[in-house]
Chain A
Amino acid sequence: MFNKDRWREILEVLTSNWFRTLLTAFGVFWGILILIVLLAAGKGLENGIRSNFGDIATNTMFMWTQSTSMAYKGLPKGRRFYFKLEDVEAIKQNVPNLRFVSPRNQLGGFNGVNNVVRGIKTGAFNVYGDYPDIINQDPMGITSGRFINELDIGEKRKVAVIGEGVKASLYDVGEEVIGTYLKIQGVNFMVIGTYKKNSNDGNAEEIQKEIFIPFTSFSQAFNQGNNVGWMAITANDNSSITQLKEQIFAVVRENQKIHPQDVRAVGHFDLFEEFNKVLGLFMAMRYIAYFVGILVLLSGVIGVSNIMLIVVKERTKEIGIRRALGENPWSIKLQIIMESIFLTMISGMAGISFGALVIYLINYFLETNGPVEMFLNPSVSLGVVITALNILVVSGLLAGFIPAQSAIKVKPIEALRME
């Protein structure tokens, strides 16, 4: 294989007609370039959308109550009900493989009235009554102080963790936040920490304007009894919430005396399912990229094959002479196939390199001109490059095979007779 004379021969043949070689090489170059750029663009879109999901635990479902749609056990339809803390316990007891079950109550919200007062400053913020686990489902960085803990829950302490956005609208710059008091709907809470969430989603501003207080304090301060507004439920990593959710609903229906077939009584949003749909979309995009890229590459490869056929035709007599002198037909075949692989590899690698340059430039412009929504860091992995190289070797082989076959199909005597 690494025979100096053979390589010299390959170079002699390919350089004997530069223009033709370059045009042929361009087909393969173009094909692999398009494959690489398409894959990188798909990856960029994927990265962009993944970063929109942020750090949220994606194996999570949110669940809330709606009104019943069926009469059951003497209870009318259209009945409104609330989740109770007992439901939370029942779910934890009866459904295995759940990592977190976080009941939650909520106050205020988007477009709400001003519900938080500090001195002369007021603001409208989402106020959540939460358990400490929520920080694992809806991750946030604690920038000062601490998050809610079990003691806060147990002692129903009136403490609050506020977002950087809240801090910005209620406090002066540089003012000490920890230990100060906020009045939330007329009840004083002491600030014990601040947080900042990661996201480059459209609501990046909104999610910094939240206030977390202990679930138990919330219930007591705002007269919720043991009502639960909604729940965030996360499954263990090795099981999916989408599979477990029916069990959860069954437990809730049983507890709340809801008809077992009443699917409308409990509303939910399955983040995992949505996430998987998006993942499926990425998969489809990758298939499309490969499909289109390989088809374009194929036309380049056909070009190589075509040129090799012409080269073989031109060299028929020479091949006849070589065979009369005793060259093994296999050696001739190998020579042609190697020429073809060499040409595809060289032009393919040029395509990959140029593709890398294009990706680099795109990244450079993204960096200098700021982020673009839903598009982040387009790239191809080493695996893709290796796959592309493999595709090149295989296509070089295929491109050389037919010409090589036709080269030794002509009998030496007929080849010699050609003038």
Chain B
Amino acid sequence: MIEIKNLHKSYKMGSNSLHVLKGINFSVEEGELVAIMGSSGSGKSTLLNILGMLDVLDEGSYTLDGVPIKNLNETKAAQYRNKFLGFVFQSFNLINYKSAMENVALPLYYQKVGRKERQEKALKYLEQVGLREWADHLPSELSGGQKQRVAIARAMAAEPKVLLADEPTGALDSTTSYEVMDLIQKINDAGNTILIVTHEPDIADMCKRIVHLKDGVIVEDKKITQIRASQYV
């Protein structure tokens, strides 16, 4: 599903150049649930941004579902993001003047899905995250966990190949975190490929594979036995 070879990325900070990713080789199969771990500054978010086509790589190659991702202009990148990827952010990033349903329907709107079908699909995904009754509420009327579940529903609505989550539980308390992880595990059980960036070991343990980044290189890449979040909920 994801194939990365010899990935380098550096940022220019004035006259200094900060080498963030120093030759990453990494691949993800379909249906995997991968946690990318590392302390802050280890390059995990940068890696996720490159995977999410929000940032471009300096060197190396990136193939997503057999499509080489390179030299994308913004229009093409937007199209690929819409088709291949779903994003879940730490700060939820819902659009605050749109209702939960409208937020979920947004990626479908960019796919030019008709209004009625869009609403039906959005309601279906809200149902899956257990928030159907909250469909007409604005994000400001939802709790943190609910917001993140709406964000997950939104990410799933476009039926992406890969779900990318950047610290999805970073802003939530542990109970809510486990609820969200339970949801993510269920989505993964349905066969979706998911990558999670986190620095919390207990969250990482709920994935099927942990990739440990340190100073821009992968220091550890192991498959683990998944801990089900449902036992804590």
Contacts and interface: CB of A to CB of B under 8 A. Distances in A.
B188 to A, nearest CB: 21
A-side interface size class: 20 to 34
B78 A329 contact: yes
A325 B154 contact: yes
A75 interface: no
A5 B54 contact: no
Contacts of A329: 74-75, 78
Interface string A1-34: 0001100000010001000000000000000000
B230 interface: no
Nearest to A413: B54
A416 B74 contact: no
A416 B91 CA distance: 10
B79 A326 contact: yes
B89 interface: yes
A135 interface: no
Interface in A312-331: 317-318, 320-331
Interface in B123-169: 154, 158
B-side interface size class: 20 to 34
Q: Which 10 A-B pairs have the closest CB atoms?
A: A326-B82, A413-B54, A326-B81, A329-B74, A321-B93, A326-B110, A325-B107, A327-B110, A324-B87, A326-B78
22 contacts: A4-B115, A5-B109, A317-B93, A320-B93, A322-B106, A322-B110, A323-B78, A323-B81, A325-B81, A325-B154, A326-B82, A326-B110, A326-B111, A327-B78, A328-B79, A329-B78, A408-B74, A411-B54, A411-B55, A412-B54, A413-B54, A419-B91
Given A325-B82, A326-B107, A328-B79, 19 more contacts: A4-B115, A317-B93, A318-B95, A321-B93, A322-B106, A323-B81, A324-B52, A324-B81, A325-B110, A325-B158, A326-B78, A326-B80, A326-B110, A326-B111, A329-B74, A331-B110, A408-B74, A411-B55, A419-B91
Interface of A: 4-5, 12, 16, 317-318, 320-331, 408, 411-413, 416, 419
Interface of B: 49, 52, 54-55, 74-75, 78-83, 85, 87, 89, 91, 93-95, 97, 106-107, 109-111, 115, 154, 158
